[in-house]
Structures are given as structure tokens and as C-alpha cells.
Structure 1
């Protein structure tokens, strides 16, 4: 018998453990489903306000015979807390004779709420009624036993770009965010510039873009034309030219020697180009022809501005920097042609 009893007890324990292991997950799932349920709306009917049968208690009365009265009663059964003007919550009592100035009672059958008048010190008092499964109901209640209204219009408070205005009556945020204050000042790093909101606590930025414009030199970096910050690297120096030969050291612009008696003078100089456009550092060679074809005069090449473009005695033009100048091709007898040069 003892062995049989032991077996029965062991089986009962196993069965109990199995049941517990099965039920626990279901309870967790139900809790998750309950948490996901949206809160219901509190009654939207505006109640009336009066004294409670000669006592100093407030009587918040709802219509007893309306289409919504049953919904109102369901809400009233779930009331858990009532606060007035953000003071400590009033204590809930079930018996009218236990009422005090800091208690409340929900009379479901009569569809009304009796509440003590301890914290009703303002002309318009905030009464927050909380019920399980419902959104809070905020009422505006006068201390004259006459006025009551559902709080729907938020007022007061100042919105910022990071926070909405807070209603000075119910304490809820409402409305829209204020605009950012970016101002005119740019912030920057070595690559980008941007504007940052000047309002305290706000990290919003706008107009972020890479630096642009300006021209670097061998001693100073480029300056951004938008924000004025330096960026990029220094300009690399051009390699030093090789030492000139005795022939190269001669003045490139020195006129050719006057023709002797055997020289055949030219009547006209023709150059292969009338206008040239070069990028900085680029070269091009000019070719000059004399007329008549048997003319034997030598020609010289001269730049009107060597800082813009240089020319060698052989007619090789080198662009130096942005600008415009002229290259004059001239014979000893004074015949000449002009070539316009533009450096970009």
C-alpha cells in the first residue's frame, strides 16, 4: 500500500509540474496581449456639478438614462484614482458615510462620483480621473459648485525646436515644435561647412556642403568663398628650370640685327595663328612666314606682358597665369603681325 501511495504521489507531482509548465507561457502571452491593447476613451459627456445632499462634498453627476450610460458605468467601475490640482490622490471609499474631504466614491448605480473638497482652492481646479484600461479624463471644476467642463483646449507654455509647448493647466505637450534658429554663422572642419541651430540643447544642422572657391598659393591654403575657412593644401612649387645656356641668356625681346645690303626685305609677315587660348602652364609654337617668299629678314617675338605669357626667340609661347596679352612678330625692317593670347 505504501508503495502504491508513493507512486500516486509521484505521478501527482509530475502532473502538477507539467500543468505549471504549460500554463505559465499562456499567462505570459496573455500579459503581452493585454499590454498591446489600446486604452479606451473616457466618457465624453459633460457631467453636472452639485453638492451631495447638503454635505460639502462635490457630486459629479452623469445622465442616468442615455445611450451611453452603460459605457459610463463600465468606466466608473474601473476608476482607480482621482487627483485634484496635482496633489496626493484622494482615497477611494465604498460607503458614503466614510466620506471625508480627501476621499472619493464612485456610485455606479446612480452614475455619479462623490469627491471631497479639500484641494479645491482655485477658481478653476484640475480634476484627473484615472480608470483601468481607459485614458485619463481631465475636468475643469469650479469651486462654486456650479461649473464643470471636460478639458479639451490646451493653453500656455512655450514651444521650442526640441520640445512642444506644455499646457499650463493639464501639463500635456501640445501643438507644433518651434522653428530652428540657424543664424548666419557657419561652423566648419577641413572639408565641410554648415550652420548649427543656436537654440540651447538643439544639435540640428543645415546647409552642409564641401568648401569651395578660393585659390591656394605656395604659402597659404585656399579660403572658402562661402564660410571664409581655409581648406586643402598648399600649392606645389614649380620645379626650378635648368641653367640657361649663353644663347638662352640673350634677351628674347632684343630686336634682330638690321639687314645688310644683301638682305631681301619683307613686305608682309604672316603668322599661323591670330588668337590662341591656353591653360596655365601650357605651350604652343607660333610659325611666321614672310612675303615675298624670297625675303631673308629675321623675325623677333615679343610679349606685351611676360607675367601672363612668355615667348622664346623661336616663337614658343608659354602660359604663365590667367589674363590676356599680345605677342608681336616683327622684322628688322618694321613689318609685324600681332597674335592675341588668352590664358585661363
Structure 2
């Protein structure tokens, strides 16, 4: 392992320097630091796997009607407890809870709202595939002393910070506060995240796409045409061969795209026509959309910008197309021309 040098920048140092530069305030710095510590605790639990007795179903379901894993529940509790008492939050909301939760009256309330998916990709836990935590930070509206669900319903453009932590061969925190997307790797010996990639950039063009093709028979015609042309390769209208990658963990798929480009797609389909999409706007699409746009990519529903959507409820679902800008724009053209 390389020894730390004078040029090593810890997450703490990075956040302090951002505060000194006037890009974040002390309260947001504290919030991000607390979330990072909570993610460190989740990382330890994930890494123990069967040794920690945390694998398998919890025997409960979340508000989405999905079976919860033991680590879903544990990760949710870790994030709630870590953020309850610091004075930086007014309320938080989780994909695992039906309603938002204000900070208990026993503790001071701050000016931010935190949303999180405590363990994205949890269906992969038992087979030891990378999973992660996704989070989004909004400002609490002025004059609101006890925020409710309705105060979280802000477009993604209003996010003041977003990020995810991926629990893979190494644990990494990928973060934006609106000034680029940056990656930090957990140094387990020091117990601290260290800046390992500043200003991540997604290539504008790509030959790689991520989608669950097993749902193809349920797609609408525009989606069928788009993926059909990708699969036709260099003999088709796109004039080049594409590779497909699919991990079934949004954090892992998006991390690959932030690292080397590509497009991630979870479209609307007829399998469950009553739902406008699979992924949650507030807990997944908005934070990932902000991270991708800050890295030079694009994020869309296939017809409009994800970050411009006005949410209408806390657990709203949307189609998601995000990644390399030119490829996202190509996918959107297929959908707009099909109207």
C-alpha cells in the first residue's frame, strides 16, 4: 500500500477546503462527514457477510412491497441513528420508510433534508456482488420548523449535494456538491476516505450500454427500436458495435459508467403498466442524475431531463437513461420521434 504523502487529501480536508472556498457551509460539511462515517459502518457490516449474520431476508417488507434483506434494515438504522443528533438535519427520508422522519425533538434541527437508499442492489448481497448506498441533500424550506413529506418534493436541480458509496473490492464514496464529481477511497487502516479521483469525466461517446434485456418483450416500440439498432452493430444504422453490461445494482452499473463511460437504462415497460418506471426519482434518479451531469454526462427519462422533474410524491418512480451525453441524447431522439 502506498504510504500517505503531503499530497494525500482526506475527505475531511477536502470538505474543509471546500468550506473555506465558500462552496459549502459548515452544516453541509458536517452532514456529508456524518453520512460518510455511516457508510463506513455499513461497509464493515457488508464485508463481514455470513460471518456477521447479516445475510438473508429480514422477514419484513418495505413501503414498495419488496422483501427486505437484513442488511437493508441494518443500513437504514445506521443512517437514521448517525444523522439524528448532530444538528445539521431537519428531517430525513428513506426508500425503506413510507414517510419522512423529522429529527427528534430532543435534538437541534438544522437546515437540510437528507434522502437515501440505504442499500441499493440488496438482492445481490447473498451472492457477494457489489452493492451501495445512495444519498441526496436538499435545503429545508425557510420557516418550516417540522418538515413533512411535501417539503422533500423539490426538483433534482435543487439538490445541494448527492453521492453514493459502493461496497466492492474497495469501498468508494463518489460525491458532488455542485462543483464536479469526485471519488474517495476508504483507507481501512486509517478509517478515512481519501481523494483518489478529482473531477471525474464521462466520455461523451460510448460503445457500451447497461440494460436488463430479459424485459425486452415488455418495452414500448421506441425502446425496442433503439436497442435493436445497438444490437445490429456496425452493420446497422449506428455503424458501430456495442457491448452490453448489466450488474443489476444501480450503484455498480453507474460507477462503471462514471469510470469509463456508457449508458445505463431502466425504461418504462408494460410488465407493470401502472408504474411509470422502476427506479425511484428521489432516492436514485435525482442523486445519480446530479452526479452524472456534474461529470459531463446526461440524465433523462427518455423524454425530459430527470433533474427538471417536479416530484409529486416521495416514492415516485421514473424511467432512467443516464451516462455518456451523446448516447443519452441518441436514446431520447428515438423516444421523441416516436410520439
| Smaller-chain TM-score bracket | under 0.3
Name the larger-Rg structure. Answer: 1
- Write 1 or 2 for the structure with the bigger share of helix: 2
Q: Which TM-score applies when normalising by structure 2?
A: 0.19
Q: Which TM-score applies when normalising by structure 1?
A: 0.19
